[in-house]
Amino acid sequence: MNVQAAITHILPLATIRRERLLPVPGRVVARRGQHITPTDVVAEAILDPEHLLLDIGRGLGLSAREADKYMAVKGGDQVGEGDVLAGPVGVARRVVRSPHDGTVVVAGEGQLLLRLDKPPFELKAAYQGEVVDLIADRGVIIETKGALIQGVWGNGRSSYGLLNVLAQAPDETLSVGRLDVSLRGSVVLAGYCDNEAVFQAGTDLPLRGLILASMNARLIPAASKVEYPVIVIEGFGKIPMNSAAFKLFSSSGRRDVTINAENWNRYLGTRPEVIMAVPESTQAELPDNTDVIVAGKHVRVVSPPYQGKLATVVSVSSTLSILPSGVTAAAASIRFEDGETALVPLANLDLIG
Amino acid sequence: MTTSLVDAESLLALEIGSVTTRAVLFDVVEGRYRYLGAGSAPTTAGAPFHNIIDGVRNALNQLQEVSGRTFIGADGQLMIPARPDGTGVDACVASLSVGPPLKVLAVGLLEDVSTESAQNLATTTYAHVIETMSLNDRRKTTARLDNILRLRPDLIIVAGGIEKGASQSVLSILESVGLACGVLPKEQRPEVLFAGNSALVKDVQQTLGTLASLQIAPNVRPTLDIEQLTPAQPALAQVFRHVRARQIRGVQEVDLWTGRKLMPSAMAFGRTIRYVSMEFPKKGVLGVDVGASATTIASAFAGDLILSVQSRLGLGENLPGILSLCSPDDILRWLPIELSADKLRDYIYNKSLYPASIPITEEELLIEQALATQAMYLAVRQARKSYPSSVHAPLPGLLPSFEPIIATGSVLTQAPKRGQALLTLLNALQPTGVTTIALDRNNLAAMLGAASGKNQYLVVQSLDATNFYNLATVISPVGQANPGTPVLHVRMTLPGGHETSREVKFGALEVLELPMGQTATLRLQPLHRFDVGMGGPGVGGNAVVTGGECGVIIDARGRPIRLNQEPPMRMEQIKKWRAVLRA
């Protein structure tokens, strides 16, 4: 039976359409048709609101019911610090004033809930391109064209800059000494990282981004802390970068690259990726996101002992196969680029396209 | 037990896991319900599909190929009930474990009483308690409100107020919950489950009814001394359905197929274990489901179920969570091969990226079995904390004697050798006394639990040895002795009168060969006041046992098992145990 599987994109040229959404409803600030860079703000929202509950009755010296008659504001009203919220009452013309700038959420029963104004969270575009659609209160859809390489792990940051190819081989270990001043302000392509000090060195330069073939999982906390984006293309442990991605990167030195190192979240549909933009006039198609694993398809193996290797499917077994581990699974015979063949479970194959 | 064919209904059971979606067909053949076949396919809740129906259809297509029956009509919908031409199916049940753990805010009066019960209720489903709120919490109402808005829980469980107890303080603590619900847009509001003082239900409905999607459940803490979680589970299942329907497309459709009876897989699994426990009232029954979403421990004592779902101990995308509960060394100790902590950590994180991946090499298989061992080891010890005081173990910190232990989860059921599954279970659970270990070879336990509300015959007739495979009868003497000291004398008498005797030494793991399904009488005589679960230390007796796939096992390795502190010696120890069990 042929079942659709997700595709990991490693493409020299594609039209790329991505949603950028706020985690909570807010305000979209980008316009349809606007050309944006990755650091432009496209939407904003208050992620950690602060409220004050004001006892208006007590402030006016009235019962809750009486106090309601003197409310000077209602839900939704914007108020500034010192503005009158309720009153005046009596000869002394007693009033309750707003202690902060903010928005009245609700007022009644002698109380008033005020949401304080504070700087909003700003959602960056993370991509360079054109805003092709707006999603009310949530965000935008951005379209761009270029080479697309998807990874497996990111530290949640995004940025852009000129690509500097540091790795001479797809599994070269990155040492602190390789990060010299000539790399300042660039996005660096490296192989394997197993030294925590590399991330601090990247901050000190500073780097605009770091693309790794693989990384020791022990470094996840350190890589998560740095302010520039870090993206891992293959996984954890010393895994060489797949040949297609390495070839694309290594032939793109000094090109503008955008890194969106969002974490891979299948439920939200986010995935870390790198885009090397081309002029908008270039003709490129939207890539398919699913396909069927059949003979002739290009795949990458996602587990040992062939992790990160690219191959072509020779045939898909019609019956279950017994693996060297003894486990029985639906499997495919695949041929690697060096001509070697292996039997690999379908579940361990990532369609590449 | 036979079923009248007039009443017979074919039943389709679906289980939508975080990695795999399975469809199983049951129907009556020769007067009794039988498992007729299964189809499976990758679950499609995530990108790029974002709809579980695709995976369900793929699994159904495979089941159609296997069974020769047609379930999906030309309109793409499940044909239910069955048509006169034999297409379709009479009934459908389903359970679900896919999706991120529900973010839960547990609210109660006292931190170590009702708030704890609210947290305990959350651990009976796929959830993660992100915050607690109680009277001990001195924050202002607005600080609590801001906290709720910042954390955005999927579910707020409110407990508090024993029956005929506090009322006003419960309502005051609900003020910030009400405010948060009022401030949030309707589609963003959390579900609220009230499981507190029943006298407050009307007030709670008045306070929150218009602001939140409110469910009412029986009080989880009716008195200070008693915690009752099981009666609240149907309401919790309903909340789970609501949240998942909001998060994942296709859930509502499957729910409709089941007549709005879609349930969390863990709850369904617990139902089966509870059901079995009513058949074995003398001892408790233990169910262990080590899955991709979570490791679930269902312990039932004469019909009383204690369910514990450990989402951080799932073997799929949540797998790195195990490192927050134990060190890499705690996992490495179960391996017969040398592996560095770094390599183990890399393996764990890679597995979380590709949770469906299957071990190709023997090394990977050993790592997965070591991870499963540690996940179950931790989960069962967490679950044990909730056992009632009336349940006794031979020594503090050990499990009571269960009969049987039922295990499920593909890491066990798909293990290439049964001995591997058995050793994984023995190392993780470390049972005591005399117990049978059964393997749910077709992974049906949760499906039968989901079916139990619809078709009791099917459940009874499917809980048989064809589906629940007897791995072994295990005798585990408990006590203290020096390694090599004889601790148990065993005499096995076969029905024909043939006898074999053996003296078992402390530290040994031994197999008594007894063919699958054959019964024998064991005369057990513990030495040095060892306890074999026959009435106390040093008390022996006769036990009629049935041979399992791995025979009868005497596990005299001690409780807890003493692992050699030196890694090379420990690896040899584990290799020896593997050889004994032909793992």
Per-residue pLDDT reduced to its tens digit, B159-194: 988 888 877 788 888 888 999 998 898 888 999 999
Residues B73 and B151 in one domain: no
pLDDT digits (tens, 9 = 90+) for B510-563: 999 999 999 999 999 999 999 999 999 999 999 999 999 999 999 999 999 999
For A24, nearest residue in chain B (alpha carbons): B188
In a domain, B191, yes or no: yes
Decide if A261 is inside a domain: yes
Residue A182 lies in a domain: yes
Look at residues B447, B123, B442 and name the one whose alpha carbon lies nearest to residue B296. B123
Residue pLDDT, tens place only, A261-311? 999 999 999 999 999 988 878 899 999 999 999 999 999 999 999 999 999
Let me know whether B63 and B83 are in one domain: yes
Out of B42, B185, B346, name the one closest to residue A3 (CB).
Answer: B42
Chain B contacts of A1, Cβ < 8 Å?
Answer: 58, 61-62, 65
Together in a domain, A57 and A133: no
CA distances (Å), origin B512, targets A71, B471, B492, B502, B555: 85, 13, 8, 9, 11
Q: How far is B422 from chain A (nearest CA, A)?
A: 16
Q: Which of B96, B112, B144 finishes a domain?
A: B96
Question: Which residue in chain B is spatially nearest to A270 when comparing CA positions?
Answer: B47
Write out chain B residues lying below 8 Å of A24, CB-based: 152, 188
What pLDDT score was predicted for residue A280? Answer: 79
Q: Is residue B44 part of a domain?
A: yes
**Cβ pair A20, A43 in contact under 8 A:** yes
C-alpha Rg value of chain B to the nearest Å: 25
In a domain, A6, yes or no: no
Q: Does A300 share its domain with A267?
A: no
Q: Residue A1: what pLDDT?
A: 62
Whether B198 maps to a domain, the answer reads: yes
Query: Considering the domain boundaries, does residue A253 fall inside one?
Result: yes
Any domain includes B6: no
Distance from C-alpha of A244 to C-alpha of A260, rounded to nearest angstrom: 20
Interface test with B, best of A155, A325, A333 (most B CBs within 10 A): A325
Mean residue pLDDT across chain A: 95
The DSSP annotation for B170-231 comes to HHHHHHHHHHHHHHS-GGGPPEEEE-S-GGGHHHHHHHHTTTSEEEE---S-SSSS----GG
One domain, residues B441 and B325: yes
Does B259 reside within a domain?
no
Claim to verify: residue B288 and residue B231 sit in the same structural domain: no
Residue B492 CA from chain centroid, whole number: 34
Residue-wise burial string across A143-169, b where 16 or more C-beta atoms lie within 10 A, e elsewhere = bbbbbbbbbbbbbebbbbbebbbbbee
Do A301 and A201 share a structural domain?
Answer: no
Instruction: Point out which residues pair with A55 in neighbouring strands.
Output: A111
B222 and B345 inside one domain: no
- Tell me what the mean pLDDT of segment A30-40 comes to: 94
pLDDT surpassing 70 at residue A251: yes
Q: Is residue A65 domain-resident? A: yes
Q: Which residues are registered as beta bridge partners of A310?
A: A300
CATH of residue A261's domain is: 3.50.30.10
- The answer to whether residue A141 scores a pLDDT higher than 50 is yes
Residue A239 shares a structural domain with residue A257: yes
Kindly report the three-state secondary structure assignment for every residue of chain A.
Answer: CCCEEEEECEEEEEEEEEEEECCCCCEECCCCCCEECCCCEEEEECCCCCEEEEEHHHHHCCCHHHHHCCECCCCCCEECCCCEEEEEECCCCEEEECCCCEEEEEEECCEEEEEECCCCEEEECCCCEEEEEEECCCEEEEEEEEEEEECCEECCCEEEEEEEECCCCCCCECCHHHCCHHHCCCEEEEEEECCCHHHHHHHHCCCCEEEEEEECHHHHHHHHHCCCCEEEEEEECCCCCCHHHHHHHHCCCCCEEEEECCCCECCCCECCEEEEECCCCCCCCCCCCEEECCCCCEEEECCCCCCCCEEEEEEECCCCEECCCCCEECEEEEEECCCCEEEEEHHHEEEEC
Instruction: Please give the pLDDT value at position B346.
Output: 98
Q: Using a CB-CB distance cutoff of 8 angstroms, which residues of chain B are in contact with residue A6?
A: 47-49
Q: Tell me, what DSSP letter sits at residue B478?
A: B
For residue A22, being part of any structural domain is answered with yes
pLDDT digits over A175-187, tens only?
999 999 999 999 9
Same domain flag for A176 and A256:
yes
CA distance B264 to B178: 27
Domain count, chain A: 3
Host domain of residue B203? 102-247
Sort out which chain A residues have CB atoms less than 8 A from B362's CB and list them. 324-326
Between CA B417 and CA A6 the distance in angstroms is: 32
Rounded to the nearest 5 degrees, what angle is found at the Cα of A337, between the Cα atoms of A164 and A344? 110
Residue B464 in domain: yes
Which residues, other chains included, contact B579 with Cβ-Cβ below 8 Å and sequence gap of 6+?
A: none
Considering only the beta carbons, identify the residue of A4, A237, A324 that sits closest to B360. Answer: A324
In chain B, the number of structural domains is 3
Q: Which domain holds residue A216?
A: 12-45+125-277
Chain B residues whose beta carbon lies within 8 Å of the beta carbon of residue A319: none
A327 vs B65: CB contact, 8 Å cut-off? no
Of A24, A269, A302, the CB nearest to B354: A302
Q: How many CA atoms lie within 13 A of B516 on its CB side?
A: 10
Provide the shortest C-alpha distance from residue A95 to chain B (in Å).
22
| pTM of this structure | 0.94
Inside any domain, residue B391: yes
Say if the Cβ atoms of B360 and A344 lie within 8 Å: yes
Rounded to a whole number of angstroms, the distance from the CA of B441 to the nearest CA of chain A is 14
A59 and A174 part of one domain:
no
Q: Which among A97, A50, A111, A104 is positioned nearest to A74, based on CA atoms?
A: A104
Q: Which amino acid is residue B368, in one-letter code? A: E
Looking at the fold, whether B428 and B552 belong to one and the same domain comes out as: yes
Predicted complex ipTM exceeds 0.90: yes
CATH number, residue A90: 2.40.50
What percent of chain B lies above the pLDDT cut of 90?
84
Residue with token string 């991605």: A245
The pLDDT of residue A10 is 97
- The string of pLDDT tens digits covering residues A79-102 is 999 999 999 998 889 999 999 999
Question: Which of A216, A236, A303 is the closest to B364 by Cβ?
Answer: A303
- Give the pLDDT of residue A157: 94
Q: For position A244, what pLDDT does the model report?
A: 97
Residues A157 and A25 reside in one and the same domain: yes
* Facing residue for A269 by CB, picked from B50, B248, B349: B50
Beta bridge partners, B500, equal: B492
Burial class (CB in 10 A: 0-12, 13-18, 19+), B88: buried
Which of chain A's residues have a Cβ under 8 Å away from the Cβ of B53? none
Residue type, B247: Q
- Asked whether residue B87 falls in the same domain as residue B123, the answer is no
As a residue count, chain B comes to 583
Smallest Cα distance from B429 to chain A, Å:
24
Size of interface A-B (CB pairs under 8 A): 155
Pick from B150, B343, B357: which is nearest to A347 by CB?
A: B357
Position A4 pLDDT exceeds 50: yes
Same domain? For A98 and A215 the reply is no
CA distance B79 to chain A (A): 21
Whole-Å CA distances, B152 to A25, A105, B131, B146, B236: 12, 18, 11, 10, 18
Rounded CA gap, A73 and A84, in Å?
8
Q: Could you tell me what percent of chain A has a pLDDT over 90?
A: 94
Indicate if B135 and B38 belong to the same structural domain. no
Each residue's pLDDT expressed in tens, for chain B with a length of 583 residues: 444 444 568 999 999 999 999 999 999 998 889 999 999 999 999 999 999 999 999 999 999 999 999 999 988 889 999 998 889 999 999 999 999 999 999 999 988 899 999 999 999 999 999 999 998 888 888 999 999 999 999 999 999 888 888 777 888 888 889 999 988 988 889 999 999 999 999 999 998 988 889 999 999 999 998 999 999 999 999 999 999 999 999 999 999 999 999 999 999 999 999 999 998 888 999 999 999 999 999 999 999 999 999 999 999 999 999 999 999 999 999 999 999 999 999 999 999 999 999 999 999 999 999 999 999 999 999 999 999 888 989 888 899 999 999 999 999 999 999 999 999 999 999 999 999 999 999 999 999 999 998 888 899 999 988 899 999 999 999 999 999 999 999 999 999 999 999 999 999 999 999 999 999 999 999 999 999 999 999 999 999 999 999 999 999 999 999 999 999 999 999 999 999 999 9
| B286 and B390 both lie in a single domain | yes
**Which residues on A lie below 8 Å from B246 (Cβ)?**
none
Examine the domain organization and report whether B418 and B459 are in the same domain: yes
We report the CATH number of the domain holding residue B207 as 3.40.50.280
Distance CA A56, CA A70 (A): 9
Confidence (pLDDT) at B3: 41
User: Sign of dihedral through CA atoms B325, B327, B328, B331?
Assistant: negative
How distant, in Å, are the alpha carbons of A59, A108, A137, B211 from that of A114?
Answer: 15, 12, 22, 19
Q: Are A149 and A200 found together in one domain?
A: yes
Q: Do B153 and B135 share a structural domain?
A: yes
Are residues A253 and A168 part of one domain?
yes
Q: Are residues B79 and B110 in the same domain?
A: no
pLDDT at B537: 94
> Same domain, yes or no, for A189 and A95?
no
Looking at residue B138, what is its pLDDT? 84
Domain membership flag for residue B260: no
Distance from CA of A248 to the nearest CA of B (A): 23
Put simply, the answer to whether A217 touches B50 (Cβ < 8 Å) is no
Nearest residue in A to B150, CA atom? A48
Q: Do A316 and A252 share a structural domain?
A: no
* Among B42, B347, B365, beta carbon nearest to A326: B365
Q: What sign results for the dihedral spanned by CA atoms B104, A221, A167, A180? A: positive
